[in-house]
Amino acid sequence: MSRKYFGTDGIRGRVGQWPITPELVLRLGFAAGVVLTRSNAQEGVHPRVVIGKDTRISGYMLESAMEAGLSAAGVDVVLLGPMPTPAVAYLTRALRLQAGVMISASHNPYDDNGIKFFSASGTKLPDSIEMDIEALLDSPLICRDSAHLGRVRRMDDAAGRYIEFCKSTFPSTLDLKGLKLVVDCAHGATYHIAPLVFHELGAEVVAIGNTPNGTNINDACGATHPEALRAAVLAHQADLGIALDGDGDRLMMVDRAGTLFDGDQLLYAIVKHRQTEPGFSGGVVGTAMTNMAVELALSQRNIPFARARVGDRYVLEMMTELDWYWGGENSGHIICRDKHSTGDGIISALQVLAALVSNATTLGAYTAEVKLFPQRLINVRTALPVNLEQAPRVRAAVEAAERDLSGSGRVLLRPSGTEPLIRVMVEGADAGRVAHWAETIAEAVRELAGATQTPG
C-alpha cells in the first residue's frame, strides 16, 4: 500500500505545514492510541505511552497535541521532556509501556519536526502497524467519556536512568581515564546527557553544541556538520571527538589529527573488536549506501555481510531476520543489538572507545584496513514527486555510468524518505570518474524535476 503520511522514519516535515500541524498531530495521537494499545489493553487498566522530544521550539506545541490525542483515546501518558530518541526506546521497554513516541526531525533544521513511534519492545514500528495508524487518521476523532480519559505525568529521573543504562554497555573492567574527549551534542536532545556519560566513565570532557535555544539544533554542528567538532578537537588537543545529531541516534568521530570517521568505519571497528570476544557469531548488515571497502574488509575477516534497504529500521529488520547483532549506515546510524534495541549514538561511541582502550590503539590504526572507495553524494531537491522509472535521460545516464564503472564501482539513485530530495550516489575506485558520473546523473535528474541542487 502507498503511504500518505509515514516515510522511512515516521512522519516528518516543515512545522505548520501539512502534515506537521497541531491538528494532524492531535489526530495522530488519537489514532496511535487506538492502534498501539488495541492488543495490549487490559480490562480496567489504562495503556501507558511515553513521549520524548528533542530541543526544537516546536516540540512544546507538538507534545501538547500528541498528549491530548493519546489522552482522548484513553491512554495514560508519561512525559520525558528533552531526551534522545534511543532513550525513548529504552524507557519504553524498561518501564513495560505499550509504546513510545519521539517528537524529532533528527538531523533536519529546527523548522522541521516529526513523530516516530516505538513498540513495547523498544523497536520502531513495522510497516503494517504504521499502515493501521494511517487508516484511522482520516476517521472522526471520537473522544472517550471523561471517566475513561488518560492521565498525564512527568518523569523527573528519566535522564539519570538513561545515563546509567548507557554506562552499563561499557565493560566494567575498563574506564576512560586519561582520554580527553570533545563531545558535540548538536544543541540537541543529548546536551544534558552525553557529556555526563563520558565524564562519569573517567574521561576529561569538553562539551560543545550543548546550549540549545530552540532554534540552533543541528546548526553548523553535530554529526551532519562535523567541521565544528574537528576544529574543537584540534584547538583543545583532544584525543578524540564525538559528534551526535539532534536526537542522538547518529555518530561521527574525529581523531586527534582531525581525521573524520563515518558510520561505516566506526561499525567496522566495533565488529572487529567483537570478533575477538567469546561467543562471536553472525555477520553485519549495511545498506546500499555502505562503502564497498567495508564489505571487502569484513570478507577478509570471514565475517558475512548483507545489504538492507536504506533506513535504520530496515537494517534492524534484516538483523533480526538473520539473527545478527551488528548493523548500520554510513550516515552514523549504528545498531548494536547486543546492547540496545535501536541505534544509539552514545552507546555506539562507547563500543568504539571500548575497542580502542582494550587494544591500546588509535582509531586510525584500528581501522587502517578499511580503504574507503571515493563516493560522491548529490542531493537534488524536488518540488513534486519524480518518477525515475519513466525518465529516459536519467536511465541512460545511469546505464552509461554502470558500464564505465563495471567491476570497480556502483550507482545508487533513490528518493529520500525524510526530505523532498532525490539522492544520487556514485562510488568507485577512481575519484575523477565517480565525480563525473555523479554530476552527469544529477544534471539529468535536475532537468527532469526542475530542481535545484542542495549540498551533499
Q: CA torsion, points 31, 33, 36, 42, in degrees to nearest 10? A: -140
- Phi, psi at residue 271, to the nearest 5°? -70, -35
Report d(CA 117, CA 103) in Å as an integer. 9
Query: Could you give the CA distance from residue 31 to residue 35 in angstroms, rounded to a whole number?
Result: 6
Q: How far is CA 171 from CA 165, 181, 182, 249, in A?
A: 12, 18, 21, 21
> What is the per-residue pLDDT for 40?
58
Q: Where are the domains of the chain?
A: 11-156, 161-366, 375-454
Q: Hey, what amino acid is at 156?
A: D
> Tell me, what's the pLDDT at 390?
73
**pLDDT reported for residue 384:** 67
- Strand pairing report for 260-261 and 251-255: antiparallel
Which pLDDT tens digit goes with each residue over 239-283? 999 999 999 999 999 999 999 999 999 999 999 999 999 999 999
Distance CA 413, CA 40 (A): 40
The domain 11-156 is classified under which CATH number: 3.40.120.10, 2.60.260.20, 3.30.300.30, 3.30.43.10?
A: 3.40.120.10
pLDDT along the chain (456 residues), means of 10: 78 96 97 80 77 98 98 96 98 95 96 95 87 91 93 97 98 98 98 98 98 98 97 98 98 98 98 96 95 94 96 92 97 96 97 98 97 93 75 91 88 81 92 95 87 44
Q: Burial, 361: exposed, middle or buried (Cβ in 10 Å; 0-12, 13-18, 19+)?
A: middle
The DSSP-derived string for 289-349 is TS-HHHHHHHHHTT--EEEE-SSHHHHHHHHHHHT--EEE-TTSBEEETTT-SS--HHHHH
Q: Using an 8 Å Cβ cutoff, are 223 and 247 in contact?
A: no
What 388-392 contacts at long range (C-beta under 8 Å, 24+ apart), as own/partner pairs, is 388/413, 388/415, 388/422, 388/445, 388/448, 391/444, 391/445, 391/448
How does pLDDT run across 128-163, given as a tens digit for each residue?
888 999 999 988 899 999 999 999 999 999 999 999
Superfamily of domain 161-366: Alpha-D-Glucose-1,6-Bisphosphate, subunit A, domain 3 (3.40.120.10)
Residue 12 sits at the vertex; the CA angle it makes with 336 and 384, to the nearest 5 degrees, is 120
pLDDT at 454: 46
To the question of domain 375-454 being in CATH 3.30.310.50, the answer is yes
Using CA atoms, how far apart are residues 141 and 135, in angstroms rounded to an integer? Answer: 13
The confidence score (pLDDT) of residue 44 equals 62
Distance CA 250, CA 335 (A): 10
Which residues are tagged catalytic?
Answer: 106
Please give the model's pTM, rounded to 2 decimal places: 0.89
Give 3-state DSSP helix, strand, coil % of the chain, rounded to 5. 35, 20, 40
Q: Residue 331 and residue 265: Cα distance in Å, rounded?
A: 11
* Calculated CA dihedral for residues 333, 259, 291, 117, nearest 10 degrees: 10
Same topology between domain 11-156 and domain 161-366:
yes
**How far apart, in whole angstroms, are the C-alpha atoms of residue 13 and residue 29?**
17
